[in-house]
Amino acid sequence: MKIWHVGGFPSPEIVNGLNNTVWLVAKEQALMGHKVSMIVTKINKDALYFSEQSGLNLIHISTTKWSYEPKLLKSLLSSQAPQIVHMHGVFSPEQATLSFNLFRRGIPYVSTPHSMTPQFLRRDWFKKSLYSLFIEKPRLSASSAITGVTPSETETINKFISNYQGILRSVPNPIEISKLDKYTWTKNIKAKRLVYMGRFDVLHKGIDILVEIARFLPEFEFHLYGNEYIKTMQWLEKIKLNIPGNVYLHNPIFGDEKLKVLSEATLYIQASRWEAFGVSIAEAMYIGLPCAISNTHNIAETFSQYNLGCLFTLNPKEAACKLSELLNNQSEQLLYWSQNARNFAKLNFHPQTVASEYLNLYQEIIH
């Protein structure tokens, strides 16, 4: 099958849930023998090495303000036409113009927004509402299939384009497992060390809520790893002026260093006000580190259905009471969640599993 993937960043090393998914799925599909191409706006050495190892083809095409370079795109669609295109992301002008060109040529495409939550849609709502009305809703509506990374996101997509006639399905994001299999949670419950990993977007990731939870739990250490986010940098600076002594802000860490910190923690915690899919949550689950997440995550519904971890409200005092009881008196519950979440992650987040689910979807569309 000839497949194009669109929407990834120029390098597979850029840490981002969407980017992680695009490169992993494309790689696995190429290793399965399919002719898979990645559309990239730049090519760097990491992408070249990645493509050589997997047999993945890189198609370099520059962009204008609203589209991929028109003449080159037309030539590619004539000489290297795919059987199906998989677009990743949302509110992308280039993908809107690409979808128009695909539709004219009768080439089907799948759309995976990766971030469709009610809260995300409300952020910068005026610009998004206009763009949605004239561009994004028509683009999504013309998709042969749309996938959400959780059932909750799929429901949001269904409400966003309520008259959609194509296939609507939930397919989780994969995670890179090549290093994860070397690590297992050390059951370090007595350390009382809680860890968060992600950008310091105070509004989105609920950094202010995490800090307030920590204020109610002085006997616990809260270690937060990430980069400052420009849109909420001033808010973060205000938080730092009165940050509790048990909260530690660290630079982001990756690879073995990240996995070592996760494996030696007591609990992974994330208080996002909204979240389509948290890669660090999935990685923590895969190595068996128990997770506590706010009930505003899209994956919270899955946590509740399969009993995968602790869910708390965004009220810091209520959350702190629940966590205190859990960590001081419910070690058996932590051990249960560790094993149950690990089994779930290994079954559902493996790259081959996710890549195969998408291949089955492509076949369903083409035939």
Model confidence over 42-81: pLDDT tens digits?
A: 988 999 999 999 999 999 999 887 899 999 999 999 999 9
pTM of the model: 0.89
Question: What average pLDDT score do residues 13-30 get?
Answer: 92
Read off the pLDDT of each residue in 304-327 and give the average, rounded to a whole number: 97
Is residue 135 pLDDT above 80, yes or no? yes
Comparing 128 with 262, the larger pLDDT belongs to 262
Mean pLDDT of 315-327: 97
Q: Do 180-348 and 2-174+350-366 fall under one CATH topology?
A: yes
Which residue is listed with tokens 């494996």?
Answer: 263
Going from N- to C-terminal start, the domains of the chain cover 2-174+350-366, 180-348
Please write the tens of the pLDDT for every residue from 156-167: 999 999 889 999
Q: Which fold has domain 2-174+350-366?
A: Rossmann fold (3.40.50)
Give pLDDT, residue 117. 82
Q: Is the pLDDT of residue 341 over 90?
A: yes
Contact 92, 128 (CB under 8 A): no
Q: What does the longest C-alpha to C-alpha distance in the chain come to?
A: 65
- Which of the two residues, 142 and 115, has the higher pLDDT score? 142
Which top CATH class is 180-348? alpha beta
